[in-house]
Structure 1
Amino acid sequence: MLRTMKKTILLLLSVLAVALISCQDKFLEAKPDKALLVPATPDDFQALMDDAFTMNTMPGLSIISDGDYSISDAGWKAFSVPYVTNSYIWAEQIYEGQGVTDWSMPYQQVFNANIVLEGLGKLDRGAVGDQRYNELKGSALFYRALAFFNIAQTFAAPYDKSTLAATPGIPVRLSSDINSPSSGGTLQETYQQIEHDLLAAMPLLPDRARPANRPSKQAARAFFARMYLAMEEYDKAERYADSCLKVQNSLLDYNNLDTNSTRPFPAVFSGDNPEVIYYLVLRGNSFTVSSLATVEPLLYDLYQAGDLRKKLFFRDRGSGIYTFKGSYNGANTIAGTLFGGFATDELYLIRAECYARRGEKELAEKDLNTLLSMRFKSENFAPVHTADAGSALERVMLERRKELIERGLRWYDLRRLNKDPRFAVTLRRVVDGTTYTLPPNSARYTFPFPDDEIKAGGF
């Protein structure tokens, strides 16, 4: 009977999720009606959070804008979705009144997390059991923090300490009450809430979780490392990356993979990729699934001879055209989705960057060499040696570009690194004879709120 009830709950939740997604950017304007289904038991709460289609996604709009991919004039004209063509040329108006799943989906995650937190508050903790109660509460706090963070990386300005208190944030909703007002607040308040939720979640979570779509202390450490890197809190980013790698530091030896395979990486839930800490996918869109979107030749040419990533990440379509095939989702890849979760390769690069920034050249090189020894053919690998900490930092940035492609992190890096003249770039695209540019620190590095949300909330 319990199994039947759980199946029924999951079915109803799926229907609710689909209905919410169809509403898209009207999510905050027309809240889900809790009367449709109110999860009330620990099993209900776990089922709600185990809906990976909803809870383990992050915005994918930045993949269109980050400059790693290009489309021909004919390809650009072939796209009929405004947010694709407009994001591609960094237009000021993106959506043209259409829905924005990159906004509505993470706010669905926030709503679900709030449902769980409020529901737990009504239960007898002793009857539930301390361990299960803690894991449910910690998971809900983790999901809410991650949703707010991912929304902020797309729809809020880049983190800057000097302007933080005066910069608008995102709507931070801490209640599932459909009548609760939605207030933007400041970016400082946004990050304070993210940090508060994650700090509260961490001691409640299990050390490691299986399946990989469930939160854990290890996932929280990796999340902290990514978050503090975005905040340019490099001492904290180093500390959390280091603590995470002390628990899980294995890397996948690319020498053991089939470079000719169309999906060369192990299925993410198989347990055969020791790098994966937490499963998260970028929302699929017509750009990421299209064969019209091809890798920028300058990016492809960054990979040296003997670098296995050149064949494991990219599919040769002939005539100098390459498309991406290297998602860590592996055989679990759904059309248009890309892996955006936490993995040890990212953590090695975070720690290496932080080492280099504080002048520890040898430590930065050690992390780089640990990673790269698993990326090159054994006979082609040559250890990295740099002249000084500044050169080591430049090499780390190069390897971040090559290793973490198509994980949604390029946009994060552009937003934070454009403030440093050493790494600032101007993105350029030519479409139908017109040149479009995205200069460093442009306001267009922040995607606008959905049109309906602006009208409804007065932002």
Structure 2
Amino acid sequence: MKNIYKKAAFLLALGLTFASCENYLDDVPKGSKSPTTLADYEAFLRDEYTNHRVNIIGASLLLNDQYATLATLSSDRLTNANYMWDENADRIALKVSDETTFYASYQGISTFNLLIESVLNSTKATEEEKRVVWAEAKVLRAMNYFNLVNFYADTYVASTAATKLSVPLITSANINAPSKQVTIQELYDFILNDVKEALPYLPKVSQTALHPNLGTGYAFYSRVYLQMNNYTEALKYADLALAENNKLYDWVGYYNTNKAIIDVPNSYTATTSPMGFNYVENYNYRHGITNNLSTENSIPVERAQRFETGDARFISRWKIYTVGAETYYRRTLSGFFNLGGITTVEIYLIKAECLARAGQISDALGVLNTVRKTRILPASYQDISTTDQATALRAIYRTKNNELVNTLIPFADARRLNAEGVYKVSFTKTANGNTYTLSSDSHLWTMPFPQGATQNPGNGTITQNVDK
């Protein structure tokens, strides 16, 4: 694929020679280094910007989880199509340039393929140490494929997964590696098998926040099984993940510590994001839309209204702001944001949904309220209490969408629920006197491949999964 060629050129520029590459790469340029030791290979897992980018901006715009300015909507037709839910827009034609979501994901996959292929033959390490890095690369590769299939293909439905196409599957770092656009079922089977093979070798404690540990493996398994509507397995692995890490961050405490800054009217002085590498909720850390030390996305007024009253996490992150004709909630945190990895709060809420699906409503709400107590200010807090399954599930979904805003998960969940047909997700808004709607069965829920991929598919072919 095109990105593999890009990556090969980049690596050549660094003078790196990989065991899986062609013979013409065998001669290492003078002054350059060929990776041979385990430390050489493991360093790729620490390449944060290149191999841990999880850009899902199209999904975030579709959900209106981030604010798009009037200037952006006027100048960027693709952003306008997603943000304003334009059913008539030809998004395929509008994707005339490379898309980070696609290329960064496959760039990471190329690196992880290299490690999986080569690290077991590395030097200066025990077999056990080499197998750990091999397993970590397996999990990260599986995570990238999960993101891709839940962005560019239809959501998983057991009755159709074996007949619908997903994304190209590449398992080699060789720049001439063949690719096959496999079915959704084949890709999910591949993802599950990667994690299954990795689990026995994942360490309980990570080398860094970028390295998946055993808790990450269990948590990701839970995420995948939930997306497949397998609530029994999702609950099983949620419990295993929470046995490894069940910490929740005290956002009420964060607000109380910083309220002298947060509560100043019309002041947008930033406080420091706690959601970085040392966030207690992390299983593993990966960048999302925000790639560097900076502030996160602002959000629309309509989106802000879906947070609970007294949500300290919301109050600490955004504040209403008006400039000219535009009003939105401006970001007020500065720092790092784990929007691409996995955190404990997601797993708590997966567990809550699985319990509710099994009819264990009281237990499900106990899990949900455990999360909410660390988020909702005491003056506004009340336990959610109901015996109705639908009411409980909607409360769980509301909290989960708010907790994981600007990650892929609300998008993936909405697609899953729309396919199920019971708890459908749709949106309506008014702008400039017009009403806009994103229906639950809209084709906009599946993103088209960028033209660069379909026109330059490398050693394979790519068929679009949407008509426009």
TM, length-normalised to structure 2:
0.82
What residue in structure 1 maps to residue 357 of structure 2? 357
Query: In the superposition, relative to structure 1, how do residues 247 and 30 fare at CA in structure 2: closer, same or farther (>3 Å)?
Result: closer
What residue in structure 2 maps to residue 16 of structure 1? none
Query: In the superposition, relative to structure 1, how do residues 67 and 332 fare at CA in structure 2: closer, same or farther (>3 Å)?
Result: closer
What residue in structure 1 maps to residue 8 of structure 2? 32
What residue in structure 1 maps to residue 79 of structure 2? 84
Q: Are residues 1:323 and 2:329 paired?
A: yes
Query: In the superposition, relative to structure 1, how do residues 290 and 268 fare at CA in structure 2: closer, same or farther (>3 Å)?
Result: closer
Q: Which amino acid aligns with 1:224?
A: Y
Q: Distance in 1 between matches of 2:453 and 2:372?
A: 45
What residue in structure 1 maps to residue 112 of structure 2? 113
Q: Which moved more, 1:86-95 or 1:254-263?
A: 86-95
Identity of aligned residues (%): 27
Query: In the superposition, relative to structure 1, how do residues 220 and 92 fare at CA in structure 2: closer, same or farther (>3 Å)?
Result: farther
Q: Distance in 2 between matches of 1:290 and 1:204?
A: 35
Alpha-carbon offset, residue 304 of structure 1: 3.9
What residue in structure 1 maps to residue 299 of structure 2? 294
8 Å contact kept, 2:218–2:237? yes
TM, length-normalised to structure 1:
0.83
Q: Which amino acid aligns with 1:300?
A: A
Q: Which amino acid aligns with 1:191?
A: Y
What residue in structure 1 maps to residue 185 of structure 2? 188
What residue in structure 1 maps to residue 24 of structure 2? none
Q: Distance in 1 between matches of 2:159 and 2:301?
A: 35
1:403-433 deviation per Cα after TM superposition (whole angstroms, max 9, x unaligned): 2222232211111111244421333466677
Q: Which amino acid aligns with 1:195?
A: L
Residue aligned with 2:147, SS: helix
Query: In the superposition, relative to structure 1, how do residues 118 and 373 fare at CA in structure 2: closer, same or farther (>3 Å)?
Result: same
Query: In the superposition, relative to structure 1, how do residues 440 and 88 fare at CA in structure 2: closer, same or farther (>3 Å)?
Result: same
Which of 209, 217, 221 is equivalent to 1:212? 209
Which of 48, 60, 66 is equivalent to 1:63? 60
8 Å contact kept, 1:59–1:151? no
1:82-133 deviation per Cα after TM superposition (whole angstroms, max 9, x unaligned): 5433432453325442111110111011111111122224346xx5202211
Q: Distance in 1 between matches of 2:332 and 2:119?
A: 40
Alpha-carbon offset, residue 69 of structure 1: 3.9
8 Å contact kept, 2:215–2:242? no
8 Å contact kept, 2:7–2:107? no
Residue aligned with 2:375, SS: coil
Residue aligned with 2:321, SS: strand
Query: In the superposition, relative to structure 1, how do residues 420 and 171 fare at CA in structure 2: closer, same or farther (>3 Å)?
Result: closer
Alpha-carbon offset, residue 72 of structure 1: 5.6
8 Å contact kept, 1:73–1:432? no
What residue in structure 2 maps to residue 7 of structure 1? none
Q: Distance in 1 between matches of 2:43 and 2:329?
A: 36
What residue in structure 2 maps to residue 449 of structure 1? 449
Q: Distance in 2 between matches of 1:396 and 1:110?
A: 33
Alpha-carbon offset, residue 402 of structure 1: 2.2
What residue in structure 1 maps to residue 40 of structure 2? 44
Residue aligned with 1:171, SS: strand
Q: Which amino acid aligns with 2:80?
A: T
8 Å contact kept, 1:72–1:431? no
Q: Which amino acid aligns with 2:404?
A: L
Two-structure CA RMSD over aligned residues (Å): 2.7
8 Å contact kept, 2:352–2:368? yes
Q: Which moved more, 1:413-422 or 1:302-311?
A: 302-311
- 1:240-389 map, 5 Å: 240-257=237-254, 258-259=258-259, 260=262, 262-266=270-274, 268-269=276-277, 271=278, 273-284=279-290, 294-297=299-302, 299-318=303-322, 321-323=327-329, 325=331, 331-332=335-336, 339-389=339-389
Residue aligned with 1:413, SS: helix
Q: Which amino acid aligns with 1:278?
A: N
Q: Distance in 1 between matches of 2:365 and 2:289?
A: 34
Q: Distance in 1 between matches of 2:236 and 2:330?
A: 32
Q: Distance in 1 between matches of 2:227 and 2:166?
A: 15
8 Å contact kept, 2:295–2:331? no
Q: Distance in 2 between matches of 1:385 and 1:267?
A: 30
Q: Distance in 2 between matches of 1:326 and 1:352?
A: 30
Q: Distance in 1 between matches of 2:311 and 2:81?
A: 35
What residue in structure 2 maps to residue 3 of structure 1? none
Alpha-carbon offset, residue 289 of structure 1: 7.3
- 1:229-240 map, 5 Å: 229-240=226-237
8 Å contact kept, 2:234–2:350? yes
Q: Distance in 2 between matches of 1:96 and 1:397?
A: 31
Residue aligned with 1:169, SS: strand
Q: Distance in 2 between matches of 1:296 and 1:162?
A: 39
What runs of 5+ residues in structure 1 fail to find an aligned partner?
A: 1-24
Q: Distance in 2 between matches of 1:263 and 1:253?
A: 15
Q: Which amino acid aligns with 1:295?
A: P
Query: In the superposition, relative to structure 1, how do residues 169 and 420 fare at CA in structure 2: closer, same or farther (>3 Å)?
Result: closer
Query: In the superposition, relative to structure 1, how do residues 165 and 324 fare at CA in structure 2: closer, same or farther (>3 Å)?
Result: farther
Residue aligned with 1:323, SS: strand
Q: Distance in 1 between matches of 2:392 and 2:368?
A: 9
Q: Which amino acid aligns with 2:352?
A: A
Alpha-carbon offset, residue 185 of structure 1: 1.6
8 Å contact kept, 2:222–2:347? yes
Q: Are residues 1:223 and 2:231 paired?
A: no
Which of 167, 170, 176 is equivalent to 2:167? 170
Q: Distance in 1 between matches of 2:253 and 2:351?
A: 26
8 Å contact kept, 2:318–2:331? yes
